[in-house]
Amino acid sequence: MRKTQRMTDEDIAKHFVEVLRTEKDPSDAIAAIKTVIKLLESDESETFLELSRELNRWENALRSHSEGSVASIISGFEQIQQHMTKKDMDRTDMSKCRKFMIERGKSYLVEMEHRKCRIAEELTSHIADGMSILTHSRSKNVFRALKLAMQRGKRFKVYVTESMPDKSGHRMARELTELGIPTTEILDASIGYIMEKVDLVLVGAEGVVENGGIINKDMSKCRKFMIERGKSYLVEMEHRKCRIAEELTSHIADGMSILTHSRSKNVFRALKLAMQRGKRFKVYVTESMPDKSGHRMASELTELGIPTTEILDASIGYIMEKVDLVLVGAEGVVENGGIINKVGTYGIGLVAKALKKPVYVLCESFKFVRLYPLNQSELPAEFKYPASVLKKSGVNLEEEHPLVDYTPPHLITFLFTDLGTLVPSAVSDTLIKLYL
């Protein structure tokens, strides 16, 4: 069957923008996840390698052709790929045979047992000492060949894909390890990365077709499983968002003055819940240039009946003396517990630290991103500037205004997340747990 023409990078970015436009106020990370699910539904990849390449292409398309937060897009893609491929699914039984073939089948099986040994014999001469070998899923022929090579004194290392959805690669890795063969189990999505390290790829086959191609694991079933997992993850994350507001309300006391910057849905949700629970407080909101997102935040809080004052970005130093607490959202949380957020957040953190005012960050765990900047200059350009600016030829980025800045962990008091309340130093361990 002829494949349909795949979507261009521009089409992928347009779909992302459409999700942002039509959905009720989603974050960039959620919009990226929904875009992945939609693309998977029409994807026609026939192998895990093809699908891995497509996922990378989709991510790169959103990073280079959309105006969304790159930190949120990256973390959204990493989290959904991790979440989509971290649980098991039952394998369909394809072993039914007709009764009249049983007797012939039994004799054929006996014959094939002898033939299988020939396959291993043929292969061993192609394995040399010091080789790194990649294999996918669990193939008895591959296992038998590697076992024979080891018994004949060959020394080599094996990488085995986990092979979702049935995790058959996990069993293969365990069996090879038990034989004493150095073996590493890898994620299906990391094939592209690991391929640079290997000398040889060994796979079995569920079928061989006339043109010499092979039939292996059913991608349609895997794709369906991934889509279902992705949709359930979105539902789960909607429930988790409420936990962030719940965690924060106990830290808001009557009579407090609170400063917030730009427009964060998590901060808005938390302040709304605190008001609904009878807390009485005042909020100062920075106008947050250049997009004046703080103006919208101030309007929405005022509509709720919360006493709100919109202030100039330049008046942070003056107003900080009056506030008891700083609340900000985050576009991304990096490995050391620092955050990437709307430009101006770093300056607020510095002033708050000088005046000993606590800074609380509210964000979901899907915004945790594997990045380790040490200062503003180490923040990648794609994080700081919109795609439209980066695509201009001859543009001097030093003369452009960044959209975000990096706030280091020593300026942050707590991070309120769907995983609980964290100190910045705990983020690294939390990231490790998320990606295991």
Q: DSSP string spanning 267-303? A: HHHHHHHHHHTT--EEEEEE--TTTTHHHHHHHHHHH
Q: In this model, does residue 99 exceed pLDDT 60? A: no
Question: Does residue 371 lie in a domain region?
Answer: yes
C-alpha to C-alpha distance for 414 and 410, rounded to whole angstroms: 10
pTM here is 0.59
Determine which of 11-20, 68-77, 242-251 has the lowest per-residue pLDDT on average: 68-77
pLDDT score at 103: 39
Q: In this model, does residue 254 exceed pLDDT 70? A: yes
In which residue are the tokens 């997992």 written?
A: 229
C-alpha to C-alpha distance for 314 and 175, rounded to whole angstroms: 64
Same domain for 103 and 17? no
CATH of the domain at 165: 3.40.50.10470
pLDDT score at 290: 84
pLDDT score at 213: 53
Same domain for 247 and 118? no
pLDDT score at 83: 58
Same domain for 391 and 260? yes
C-alpha to C-alpha distance for 367 and 371, rounded to whole angstroms: 11
Q: Report residue 87's pLDDT band, with 50, 70 and 90 as the boundaries.
A: very low
Question: Does residue 234 lie in a domain region?
Answer: no
Number of domains observed in the structure of the chain: 3
Question: Does residue 224 lie in a domain region?
Answer: no
Same domain for 114 and 76? no
Which tokens go with 59?
A: 């991510």
pLDDT score at 84: 58
pLDDT score at 125: 83
Q: In this model, does residue 416 exceed pLDDT 50? A: yes
Domain boundary among 90, 112, 127: 90
pLDDT tens digits, 376-402: 877 777 777 777 777 777 777 766 778
Asked whether 424 and 415 are in contact (CB, 8 A), the reply is yes
Same domain for 359 and 247? yes
Same domain for 284 and 188? no
- Strand order of the β-sheet with 281-286 is 308-311, 281-286, 256-260, 325-328, 359-362, 414-417, 420-422
Cross-strand partners of 309 = 284
C-alpha to C-alpha distance for 131 and 161, rounded to whole angstroms: 17
Cα–Cα distances (Å) from 47 to 59, 169, 191, 213, 431, in that order, read 19, 15, 11, 12, 29
Q: Residues near 217 by Cβ (< 8 Å), separated by ≥ 6?
A: 48, 137, 163, 206
| Phi and psi angles of residue 317, each rounded to the nearest 5 degrees, phi first | -60, -40
pLDDT score at 236: 83
Question: Does residue 393 lie in a domain region?
Answer: yes
Q: In this model, does residue 229 exceed pLDDT 90? A: no
Question: Does residue 304 lie in a domain region?
Answer: yes
pLDDT score at 219: 57
Question: Does residue 357 lie in a domain region?
Answer: yes
Same domain for 251 and 175? no
Which tokens go with 85?
A: 């491929």
Domain boundary among 52, 70, 90: 90
Same domain for 312 and 272? yes
Same domain for 270 and 131? no
The parent domain of residue 178 ranges over 99-217
Higher-pLDDT residue of 352 and 374 is 352
Q: In this model, does residue 211 exceed pLDDT 60? A: no
pLDDT tens digits, 313-359: 889 999 999 999 999 999 989 988 999 999 899 999 999 999 999 99
Same domain for 271 and 351? yes
Same domain for 180 and 122? yes
Asked whether 293 and 263 are in contact (CB, 8 A), the reply is yes
| Phi and psi angles of residue 319, each rounded to the nearest 5 degrees, phi first | -80, -25
pLDDT score at 2: 45
Same domain for 49 and 131? no
pLDDT tens digits, 138-148: 888 889 899 99
